[in-house]
Amino acid sequence: MGDDGQGAGMEDVDLLVVGGGKGGKTLAMDAARSGRRVAMVERGMIGGTCINVACIPTKSLVTSARLLQRIRRAGEVGVRVEKAEADLPLLRAHKEGVVGGMVDINHRQFIDSGMDFILGTARFVAERTVEVDLVDGGRRVLRGADVVVNTGTVPHVPAIPGLAEVSPLTSESILRLERIPDHLVVIGGGYVGLEFAQMFASFGSGVTVLDRNPRLLPGEDPDVAEALTGFLREDGVVIHTGVQVERVSGETGAVTVRLTDGREVAGSDVLVATGRAPVTRDLDLAAAGVEVDDRGFVKVDDRLATSAPHTWAVGDVAGSPQFTHVSLDDYRILKANLAGGDRRTTGRLVPWNLFTDPELARVGLTETEARAAGMDVRVAKLPVAAIPRARTTREMRGLWKAIVDRESERVLGVALLGPESSEVLTVVQTAMLAGLPYPALRDAIIAHPTMAEGLNLLFASFAD
């Protein structure tokens, strides 16, 4: 068979999905159930990154870390508990049980949908055509009337001298939980780095975070970021901001990280949390006529179409915000467009949640962004300790903040730093989608005592 993928053995399908992440797998199952001929190729991570090495296993371990913290503070609510500590085999079993169960569910759904689910590695050999090296041996060539690239991303490991030699952990490899580090040095103070930093501090590790930015979470308002930084330090995480790593030396178990200012940080292990890189290098997208940017992400327009006809991309690899819920919305957009619609990604109201303790949940504009855009805004702030529910649970750390347009009274954005904030956020997001003025939340009859009741207080707390 020639390199162009033509000849005997070509298999034609209505929809070919390369990569089984959230957007792609949902589209594939949906199309297959509707009677279309669908093939989905996946290298081996059944269910996608979220289920296997990201959201689901990480949040499973966050649950364990939070429970440890609650048990250690049990005396505050009148309960005596013997010493609580992390048990590595039990942690691993908990995480693998959650992941394994969800992988099995996904696999059954793939088969039941009627799609042709193919385990193997694909590369493009022509427009809309891939050659697949199968996991169990052999090769197949498939061509789709429409093709979707959904190969996701992997952790980015920067080219720091000496780093590779100490076998650094990534957000994926650390989940294997071969041991609990004595002292974990985290390079990168973004969302992933902070979740793991606090998690392993709860498990008993010493933890040091090194971040190049002048402060943590530079995209957030300073008051919110500083509050979270303080809580992390309360929980034993050492934080150095405005620093650059010059080199790493030593070996696993005894690592030294040298900073450009001459300081050295010693630890047992290094976790690299410096972002993610697209899985496109070995796809040979050029053969398909698909353009990528200088970082390797697939170039798409706001309809998720690539530079090649009838070829689309969804999820992280398309440069979409790296959240599973965004990949799911990419599916909705692409489903509509494949049916002849004109749905677009512009103007999406995307929420996000940082699952530290307390959680940081945000949607819309920050105060900094709104003022930079010249908007006339009102700002409301509320300490979480003012919410009755927080007092009953004795989880009173946090700060809620809302930004409102002064004239229209519409909510422009909120940052909710506090317990259960990721659940409360949806209430505000719904009000924003509906275009409701803030008094609708201020005056709503919300059940007492709940964390959501704090919205009554928040939207009554404007200082001007």
Residues 120-159 have pLDDT tens digits of: 999 999 999 999 999 999 999 999 999 999 999 999 999 9
Considering only CA atoms, which of 289, 329, 326, 320 is closest in space to residue 306? Answer: 289
Order of strands across the sheet that contains 245-251: 245-251, 254-259, 264-267
Q: How many CB atoms lie within 10 A of CB 362?
A: 26
- Which tens digit of pLDDT belongs to each residue from 288-307? 999 999 999 999 999 999 99
User: In the prediction, which pLDDT does 155 show?
Assistant: 97
Q: Where are the domains of the chain?
A: 10-154+277-338, 164-274, 358-458
Return the residue matching tokens 């792609």.
Answer: 24
Q: Is the pLDDT of residue 7 over 60?
A: no
3 state SS for 101-144: HHHHHHHHHHHHHCCEEEEEEEEEEECCEEEEEECCCCEEEEEE
Q: Is the pLDDT of residue 253 over 50?
A: yes
pLDDT category at 99 given cuts 50, 70, 90 is very high
What per-residue string of b and e applies to 117-136 under the rule 16 or more CB within 10 Å gives b?
bbbbbbbbbbbbbbbbeeee
Return the residue matching tokens 């940082």.
Answer: 354
Select 10-154+277-338's CATH number: 1.10.10.10, 2.40.110.10, 3.50.50.60, 1.20.1050.10: 3.50.50.60
Q: Is the pLDDT of residue 206 over 50?
A: yes
- Mean pLDDT, the chain, as a whole number? 96
Considering only CA atoms, which of 312, 335, 303, 322 is closest in space to residue 29? Answer: 335
- Whether omega for the bond prior to residue 419 falls within 30 degrees of 0, making it cis, is no
User: In the prediction, which pLDDT does 361 show?
Assistant: 98
User: In the prediction, which pLDDT does 463 show?
Assistant: 86
Torsion of CA 355, 356, 359, 363, to 10 degrees: -60
37: helix, coil or strand? coil
Let me know if the fold of 10-154+277-338 is the same as that of 164-274.
yes
Q: What's the token pair of residue 401?
A: 């903040």
Superfamily of domain 164-274: FAD/NAD(P)-binding domain (3.50.50.60)
Q: Is the pLDDT of residue 2 over 80?
A: no
Active site residues: 448
User: In the prediction, which pLDDT does 45 show?
Assistant: 92
- Which tens digit of pLDDT belongs to each residue from 341-372? 999 999 999 999 999 999 999 999 999 999 99
Burial of 286 (0-12, 13-18, 19+ CB in 10 A): exposed
* Mean pLDDT within 277-288: 98
Q: Is the pLDDT of residue 3 over 80?
A: no
Architecture of domain 358-458: 2-Layer Sandwich (3.30)
Q: What's the token pair of residue 320?
A: 């979409």
Give me the percent of the chain exceeding a pLDDT of 90.
97
Separation in Å, CA 345 to CA 339, 342, 418:
16, 10, 30
Separation in Å, CA 264 to CA 201, 208, 243, 279, 299:
20, 12, 11, 34, 41
Q: What's the token pair of residue 34?
A: 């509707």
* Mean pLDDT within 267-287: 98
- Which tens digit of pLDDT belongs to each residue from 370-420? 999 999 999 999 999 999 999 999 999 999 999 999 999 999 999 999 999
User: In the prediction, which pLDDT does 9 show?
Assistant: 87
* Mean pLDDT within 22-40: 98
